[in-house]
Amino acid sequence: MNDYQMPSWGYWVMGVGLALYLVLLVGYFIKCRGFRRPVFASPYVLWIVIFTVIPVLLVAYFALTDGNGNFTLDNFRDFWDSDYLRRAAISPERAEKLKERGMTLEEYLPPNSSNVDTLIHSIWMAFQCTVICLLLGYPAAHIMADREFKLGATLVVLFMVPMWMNFVLRTYALSELLEEDGLINNILKGVGIGARQLLNTDGAIQLGMVYNYLPFMVFPIYNSLNKMDYKLSEAAMDLGCNKWQTFYKVTLPLSVPGVISGITMVFMPAVTTFAISRMLGGGKTPPLFGDLIEKRFSGSALNWNLGSALSMVMMVLILISLGFLQKADPKGEGGGII
Amino acid sequence: MEEQRLISLENICKAYDGVTVLNNINLYIRKKEFVTLLGPSGCGKTTTLRIIGGFENADSGRVIFDGKDISGIPPYKRRVNTVFQKYALFPHLNVKDNIAFGLKLKKLPKDEIARRVDYMLDLVNLSGYGKRSVESLSGGQQQRIAIARALVNEPEVLLLDEPLGALDLKLRKEMQLELKSMQQRLGITFLYVTHDQEEALTMSDTIVVMRGGNILQIGTPKSIYDEPKNAFVANFIGESNIFSGTMVRDELVHFCGEDFPCVDSGFGEDKPVDVVIRPEDVLIVGEDVGQVTGVIKSVLFKGVHYEMMIDAGHSIWKVHSTTMQPEGSRVGLSVVPFNLHIMKPMAQEEKPGEEQADE
């Protein structure tokens, strides 16, 4: 396979960028006669250029070229029709022979889920994860933000403590619990239900995602509920709302920014994860889209061009969904998206 | 007259974490009356209002509304509406939807809701503002919307919790008159909470002066101003000179080293009393005819009158007068007997040990 490396223009862009940066820095320094705001902001600009702008350009470059650096859209075709490569590897003569034997190409080729199927599966899993997090997280946030609930602050800390622990450690701990003779199965055996296959299932991955991402749902909602003026719910009750009406006519609409922010912060990492599915799926579950991308860059099926194309598809989908979410919270009150 | 009483509070007590906020409050409010709860912050006036609104429950005692005990009934089932201190308008709804909030809950027909909302907007002089977002309005406008939002439900009683507190002086005065005329036109009972004595005097039919969870005095603005029950009320409502003295006998009181004839009696002989004199009731007369004499220490121009501090040897007198005396000049001071207000000394009433012994 190809020996992938940064194309030479990448160095040029970086070089020119750095030079431009230095020129601007000196220019501003002279113009403002000292260290003013633009000068202080410049390290961040440099950071963005090196670690965001150039990488995105490189991803676009690889996605739109073949192994020799020539422009092509084949990578996107390969995303759409992942069997194409394999079919292309079979000579027309061989295909003819298969036909004579009464076999279709599909039957001959080993079963393989397509990139599109994987993408749909990934989105579906992330969607489920987001819904579960919302259903678990909203009531939790509501309880924590309740003025009359004295343990609210304690609960906030309890929700935060797992986040202080290393992500990998947390997930491994979960896999220990789910093992064939792990704690949960032992309990199941103890009460007479019998051991189940828990680890290496979609359910285990889902559990891992919800477990890891729940705080990202709870805290934005908690924040938006917490900063809400409690007098507003009193006003609603005063005007004739019972508790339930107060909730869906006042509290819920006012917490929408938090909900939007929470959905974004859960859905994004969930749809791109590969670590959780690897640790809790053990390669025995249908792959997630993050797995596919990862495999193209460091795994068995090295292909930076295809991997970049897959990343681009993901990026565009995320941008589109962000656009929709932005519409629901035009003022960005949820505390910023991404 | 019993049937006129719309709300009665009977022996209401309330404590937060062991601290008494309301101490055995008894109060009744008549139909179409404008009642003001007046007192410094922390006197329990807002808590009283919240108990009537249903946002707090009294620890003991009963709230009678129209002959029925409503203690424990949730706010949304009470025929009262509240104008909150910082308005508490719904930021996610526009002006119209804020006002229509209560009517929509009652599932009234759409055209009637629209009609009543328009009427209210007109009443508070904000017609044409229906589509605006509430956050785009000024404080005074938000205030009117809050009043409209409460009044549109045609409550039996409107509770107002320092509704004008956030407005500037001129706007506040305008709104005071507007609120008062609104109340008279609509014939709705108003229960108003404020710490501003002038506001209370301007608007109320009845003022309830509160302090430390107790009601000190209930009466019309005039009776509370003219006949304050004790030095605290006297000092809180308007400005006062308060001297401690002795009741020599009926209709003669001794303070500031002199005997003064007065119109009060029944205190007994040689009993300690507080003497309250309004600054505008002190007359500046010739040095030789004054009941006491003193030196003008300072003169402040206050617009309509001058405020002069006069040192009379053992006491300082605050005097309001439309004519100015030069600083340093010697003058005589005189008070007609009717304007001397004699009351039991505060210290006696206040001793906490005695209060508990009474219970």
Query: Contacts of residue B102 in chain A, CB cutoff 8 Å?
Result: 239-240
Please name the residue that has the structure tokens 């991955």. Answer: A205
Is B241 part of the contact surface with chain A (CB cutoff 8 Å)? no
Secondary element (H or E) of residue A164: helix A152-164
Please name the residue that has the structure tokens 């309890």. Answer: A158
SS3 A100: helix
Q: Which two tokens stand for residue A76?
A: 């996107």
Give bridge partners of residue B218 from the DSSP assignment. Answer: B208
Q: How sure is the predictor about B359, in pLDDT bands with cuts at 50, 70 and 90?
A: very low
Comparing A299 with B261, the larger pLDDT belongs to B261
For chains A and B, CB pairs below 8 A equal 57
Predicted pLDDT of residue A263 = 92
The pLDDT tens digits for A42-91 are: 778 788 888 888 889 889 999 998 878 888 888 888 787 766 555 555 56
- Do the Cβ atoms of A240 and B149 come within 8 Å? no
SS3 B100: helix
Is B225 part of the contact surface with chain A (CB cutoff 8 Å)? no
Please name the residue that has the structure tokens 């009474």. Answer: B358
Q: Residue B69 pLDDT > 60, yes or no?
A: yes
Predicted pLDDT of residue B123 = 86
Query: Contacts of residue B76 in chain A, CB cutoff 8 Å?
Result: 237-242
Q: Residue A101 pLDDT > 80, yes or no?
A: no
* DSSP label of B313: S
Q: Residue A5 pLDDT > 80, yes or no?
A: no
B29 contacts B7 by C-beta, under 8 angstroms: yes
- Do the Cβ atoms of B76 and A232 come within 8 Å? no
- Do the Cβ atoms of A238 and B75 come within 8 Å? yes
Could you please report the per-residue DSSP string of A21-45?
Answer: HHHHHHHHHHHHTSS-HHHHHHHHH
- Do the Cβ atoms of B106 and A240 come within 8 Å? yes
Predicted pLDDT of residue A204 = 93
Q: By CA distance, what is A252's nearest residue in B?
A: B92
Q: By CA distance, what is A255's nearest residue in B?
A: B92
Q: How sure is the predictor about B205, in pLDDT bands with cuts at 50, 70 and 90?
A: very high
The least confident of A21-30, A116-125, A286-295 is: A21-30
Q: Which two tokens stand for residue B164?
A: 């004008």
Q: How sure is the predictor about A332, in pLDDT bands with cuts at 50, 70 and 90?
A: low
CA atoms within 13 A on the CB side of B268: 5
Query: Contacts of residue B84 in chain A, CB cutoff 8 Å?
Result: 231, 234-235
Q: Where are the beta strands (DSSP E) in B125-262?
A: 157-161, 189-194, 206-211, 214-219, 241-249, 252-255, 258-261
Q: Where are the beta strands (DSSP E) in chain A?
A: none
Predicted pLDDT of residue B353 = 34
The rounded distance, in Å, linking the Cα atoms of B65 and A197 is 65
Predicted pLDDT of residue B161 = 93
Q: Which domains does chain B have, with CATH numbers?
A: 2-226 (3.40.50.300), 240-358 (2.40.50.140)
Predicted pLDDT of residue B219 = 94
Give bridge partners of residue B209 from the DSSP assignment. Answer: B38, B217
Rounded to a whole number of angstroms, the distance from the CA of A143 to the nearest CA of chain B is: 19
Comparing A180 with B199, the larger pLDDT belongs to B199
- Do the Cβ atoms of A242 and B76 come within 8 Å? yes
Query: Contacts of residue A245 in chain B, CB cutoff 8 Å?
Result: 105
Secondary element (H or E) of residue B321: strand B316-321
- Do the Cβ atoms of B105 and A240 come within 8 Å? yes
Indicate the residue of A231, A242, A249 with minimum beta-carbon distance to B84.
A231
The rounded distance, in Å, linking the Cα atoms of B182 and B176 is 10
Is A228 part of the contact surface with chain B (CB cutoff 8 Å)? no
Predicted pLDDT of residue A336 = 44
Is B46 part of the contact surface with chain A (CB cutoff 8 Å)? no
The rounded distance, in Å, linking the Cα atoms of A142 and B85 is 25
Rounded to a whole number of angstroms, the distance from the CA of A235 to the nearest CA of chain B is: 7
How far, rounded to the nearest angstrom, does the alpha carbon of residue A70 sit from its chain's CA centroid? Answer: 31
* Cα-based distances in Å from A105 to A112, A115, A318: 13, 19, 35
Q: By CA distance, what is B90's nearest residue in A?
A: A232
SS3 A72: coil
- Do the Cβ atoms of A234 and B88 come within 8 Å? yes
Q: By CA distance, what is B85's nearest residue in A?
A: A231
Q: Residue B351 pLDDT > 50, yes or no?
A: no
The rounded distance, in Å, linking the Cα atoms of A124 and A288 is 10
- Do the Cβ atoms of B82 and A229 come within 8 Å? no
* DSSP label of B195: S
Please report, as a single letter, which amino acid is at residue B239.
E
Predicted pLDDT of residue B257 = 86
Query: Contacts of residue B83 in chain A, CB cutoff 8 Å?
Result: none
- Do the Cβ atoms of A229 and B90 come within 8 Å? no
Is B76 part of the contact surface with chain A (CB cutoff 8 Å)? yes
The mean pLDDT value of chain B amounts to 88
Predicted pLDDT of residue B166 = 80
Q: Which of B120, B105, B203 is nearest to B154 (CA)?
A: B120
The rounded distance, in Å, linking the Cα atoms of A177 and B39 is 63
Mean pLDDT of A104-130: 77
- Do the Cβ atoms of A237 and B101 come within 8 Å? no
The mean pLDDT value of chain A amounts to 83
- Do the Cβ atoms of B90 and A234 come within 8 Å? no
Query: Contacts of residue B91 in chain A, CB cutoff 8 Å?
Result: 254
Predicted pLDDT of residue A83 = 62
Q: How sure is the predictor about B120, in pLDDT bands with cuts at 50, 70 and 90?
A: very high
Mean pLDDT of A159-172: 87
Query: Contacts of residue B92 in chain A, CB cutoff 8 Å?
Result: 250, 253-254
B268 contacts B249 by C-beta, under 8 angstroms: no
Provide long-range contacts, Cβ within 8 A and 24+ apart, for B224-231.
B225/B201, B227/B341, B228/B276, B228/B341, B228/B343, B229/B343, B230/B274, B230/B343, B230/B344, B230/B346, B230/B349, B231/B274, B231/B276, B231/B343, B231/B345, B231/B346
CB atoms within 10 A of CB B173: 15
Q: Which of B:108-167 have CB within 8 Å of A? A: 149-150, 153
Is A70 part of the contact surface with chain B (CB cutoff 8 Å)? no
Query: Contacts of residue B88 in chain A, CB cutoff 8 Å?
Result: 229, 231-232, 234-235
Indicate the residue of B76, B85, B149 with minimum beta-carbon distance to A237.
B76
The rounded distance, in Å, linking the Cα atoms of B113 and B108 is 6
Predicted pLDDT of residue B155 = 92
Secondary element (H or E) of residue B353: helix B352-358
* Cα-based distances in Å from A135 to A66, A77, A214, A259, B163: 45, 38, 10, 11, 39
Rounded to a whole number of angstroms, the distance from the CA of B10 to the nearest CA of chain A is: 23
Indicate the residue of A242, A245, A254 with minimum beta-carbon distance to B92.
A254
Give bridge partners of residue B214 from the DSSP assignment. Answer: B211
Mean pLDDT of B262-278: 88
Quick one: CA torsion of B41, B42, B48, B49, rounded to 10 degrees? 40
Predicted pLDDT of residue B131 = 92
Q: What would the CATH number be for the domain defined by A115-328?
A: 1.10.3720.10
A273 contacts A290 by C-beta, under 8 angstroms: yes
Predicted pLDDT of residue A266 = 93
Secondary element (H or E) of residue B222: helix B221-226
Predicted pLDDT of residue A36 = 66
Burial class (CB in 10 A: 0-12, 13-18, 19+), A15: exposed
- Do the Cβ atoms of A235 and B55 come within 8 Å? no
* Cα-based distances in Å from B76 to A43, A285, B106: 57, 53, 11
Q: Residue A105 pLDDT > 70, yes or no?
A: no
- Do the Cβ atoms of B84 and A234 come within 8 Å? yes
Indicate the residue of B76, B88, B153 with minimum beta-carbon distance to A229.
B88
Instruction: Give percent of chain B above pLDDT 70.
Output: 95
- Do the Cβ atoms of B105 and A250 come within 8 Å? no
Q: Residue B168 pLDDT > 70, yes or no?
A: yes
In degrees, rounded to 5, the angle at the alpha carbon of residue B166 between the alpha carbons of residues B161 and B167 is 115
The pLDDT tens digits for B23-40 are: 999 999 999 999 999 999
Burial class (CB in 10 A: 0-12, 13-18, 19+), B255: buried
SS3 B243: strand
* DSSP label of A300: S
- Do the Cβ atoms of B88 and A231 come within 8 Å? yes
B89 contacts B142 by C-beta, under 8 angstroms: yes
- Do the Cβ atoms of B105 and A238 come within 8 Å? no
Q: What is the 3-state secondary structure (H, E, C) of A174-232?
A: HHHHHCCCCHHHHHHHHCCCCCCCCCCCHHHHHHHHHHHHHHHHHHHHHHHHHCCCHHH
Extents of the domains making up chain A? 8-63, 115-328
Q: Specify whether the backbone of A328 is left (phi greater than 0), alpha (psi in -120 to 50) or beta.
A: alpha
Please report, as a single letter, which amino acid is at residue A223.
N
Q: Specify whether the backbone of B36 is left (phi greater than 0), alpha (psi in -120 to 50) or beta.
A: beta
Please name the residue that has the structure tokens 């009470």. Answer: B78
The rounded distance, in Å, linking the Cα atoms of A143 and A149 is 7
Mean pLDDT of A188-197: 84
Mean pLDDT of A205-231: 93
Q: How sure is the predictor about B345, in pLDDT bands with cuts at 50, 70 and 90?
A: confident
Contacts of A325 (CB under 8 A, 6+ apart): A260, A263, A264, A337
Q: Residue B225 pLDDT > 50, yes or no?
A: yes
Predicted pLDDT of residue B71 = 87
Could you please report the per-residue DSSP string of B111-138?
Answer: HHHHHHHHHHHHHTT-TT-TTSBGGGS-
Query: Contacts of residue A241 in chain B, CB cutoff 8 Å?
Result: 76, 105
